[in-house]
Structure 1
Amino acid sequence: MNDKKTSGGGKDGHYARLRRAHREANPLPSSDNVVLYGLHTVRAAILNPDRKPLQLLATRNALARLELADDTLRRCPVEIVEPKAIDRLTGDGAVHQGIALETLPLKPKPLTALGDTDLVLVLDQVTDPHNVGAILRSAVAFGAGALVTTARHSPVESGVLAKAASGALEHIDHIEVRNLAEALETLSQSGFQTVGLDSEGPDILEQTVSGAKIALVLGAEGKGLRQKTRETVDALARLDMPGAIKSLNVSNAAVLSLYVARHAMVES
């Protein structure tokens, strides 16, 4: 019996050849993999040369909407599946849009790999992956070069975080440090003005940020910045909130702070 999926005929045979060629050239490593999903997230991940994709599961319609050339798709084996197969991989409730990518996680970089960026976001124990993903998206939109987090009390790379970031995870360096206070001191010595966001900060952010290099430091909702962090930053500042509520969700505070910082840098 001649089966298109195995005989090499038609589109299914074409993707089978891609899968076979990739498996022969790239045997799967033994590692803790992550599953990314959603069109924007998966497209950005496959296009990221630093990413090691392992397997792409997609409905035929979603694969067409991905709009990637065959040469690019050869980076990983492609399997055409029904939506239920992706549901099983991503878990209930994931808005996967008919596509999921199994991949090795990106490796965080040390502070010495910061490079020549002029705008950095630092998170002090912000653990919610939805918030961190949204912060990443805003950071990339405003041209921040790195997101600095601690090795502990920070979310690991996941489908939830990557979906919230909508592809931004692939466009910004993730710097991981063990001691945040030491990292802030290093940033300050490197010419960054380190500014901690605090709803009760003594000064307004617009009147505080200055200079050619800025590092914005945000704390977790509820707890805010830790005391050691508050003592280490160059300045504490608040977003001016004229309404009855004086604080924002950390991802909203991040986007406003990035706007203020970038605007100040352009004017300086």
Structure 2
Amino acid sequence: MKERDRKPPARRPGGKPAGKSFGKPGGFGRPPAWRERGSDHDEPVILYGWHTVSLALANPQRRIRKLYLTENAARRLAEEQIPTRVTPEIVRPSEIDRQLGPDAVHQGLLAEADPLPSPDVETLEAAGMVLVLDQITDPHNVGAILRSAAALGVKAIVTTARHSPEATGVLAKSASGALELVPIVTVQNLARALGRLNERGFQTVGLDSAGSEKLAAIELRQPLALVLGAEGKGLRQLTRETCSVVARLDLPGDIKSLNVSNAAVLALYIGASQLGLMP
């Protein structure tokens, strides 16, 4: 076996090796904080936490394989009339702790599910806003971006098949249910996908501190694709060259740069305001 083909040992989202599994022998496998997309489509997506799991249960497109609940969580689901869709296994909180690690805030809910299908970039509606992520790998950041995208009515998020976090574990928890609300379009070649968006009439605006124009000063129009790069590296050269314009976010305070998830919500707010999408 080649070195690159070796699979890492099972790990909790916190990075520690997973403990003994409950349920059938072998448990639910490894619930990684992130892994490259396409690494193993047979592995279940691991979802935990109230918003994450309850919205997954309410999503008819999400196939739930297994559901582990504490008694309190099962009672709350029943009170809020959220169907479990599969027969849950009632467990103690400590048993879920053992799977996820003591730092995971699971609120008594843990589910194994199939990944949601990835739409094709050609099927995206040419209206509103989409968000394009250029190799942003931190699952907390991508999860927070997803949550902001859901709040601001983003139609879809486009990301790369490699060098992006899998929609499971920490990312799913950070997204707080937004995985069920914002489709994720996975592409092999981001520059090619951006080129196709350009051809379809999207205004593709890259965000970079060295951008030639202020984002707020640009006349934005629908359909709009906002493109964000990874912290530190920013947009890759080919990504920058494929965008129709590269803009910056000017800030009035002493700190002139933002975490990428904060930059995303500010850019989305500016975009939604200019496009008349705000209530």
Instruction: Provide TM-score, normalisation by structure 2.
Output: 0.81
Q: Whose helix proportion is higher, 1 or 2?
A: 1
1:34 aligns with 2:45: yes
Report what 2:81 is aligned to.
Answer: 69
Q: 196, 218, 224: which is aligned to 2:206?
A: 196
- Superposition pairs of residues 245-256 of structure 1, within 5 angstroms: 245-256=255-266
**2:94 — aligned with what?**
84
Moved over 4 A (4+): none
Counterpart-to-counterpart distance in 2, 1:77 and 1:209: 52
Q: Secondary structure at the match of 2:251?
A: coil
Residues 64 and 113, structure 2, Cα contact 8 Å, conserved in 1: yes
User: Within the alignment, does 1:174 sit opposite 2:184 as a pair?
Assistant: yes
Percent identity (aligned) = 56
State how far apart, in whole Å, the 2-side matches of 1:155 and 1:174 are.
Answer: 12
Count of residues in Structure 1 that have an aligned counterpart in Structure 2: 236
In the TM superposition, what is the alpha-carbon distance from 1:221 to its structure 2 partner? 0.3
Residue 104 to residue 138, structure 1, CA distance change in 2 (3 Å):
same
- Whether 2:221 is the aligned partner of 1:206: answer no
Match of 1:4 in 2: none
Distance 2:202 2:163 in 1: 24
Q: Deviations over 1:1-26 (max 9, x none)?
A: xxxxxxxxxxxxxxxxxxxxxxxxxx
1:19-168 → structure 2 map (5 Å cutoff): 31-66=42-77, 67-69=79-81, 72-73=83-84, 75-168=85-178
Shift of 1:115: 2.9
Say whether the 8 Å CA contact 2:61–2:116 is kept in structure 1. yes
Root-mean-square deviation (Å): 1.6
Instruction: Structure 2: state its 5+ residue gaps.
Output: 1-40
Residues 156-165 or 111-120, more deviating: 111-120
Q: What secondary structure sits across from 1:266 in the alignment? A: coil
Moved more, 213-222 or 83-92: 83-92
Q: Which has the larger radius of gyration?
A: 1
Further displaced range: 168-177 or 114-123: 114-123
How far did 1:242 drift? 2.3
Which residue does the alignment assign to 2:239?
Answer: 229
Give the SS at the match of 1:126.
coil
Q: Assess if the C-alpha contact under 8 Å between 2:46 and 2:169 holds in 1.
A: yes
The 8 Å contact of residues 208 and 235 in structure 1, kept in 2 or not, is answered as: no
Contact conserved, 1:53 with 1:103, CA < 8 A, in 2? yes
Can you list the C-alpha shifts for 1:65-87, whole angstroms capped at 9, x where unaligned? 234537x22x2121111001111
More displaced 10-residue stretch of structure 1: 59-68 or 149-158: 59-68
- Aligned with 2:276: secondary structure? helix
Distance 1:166 1:242 in 2: 31
Change (3 A) 1:234 1:116: closer
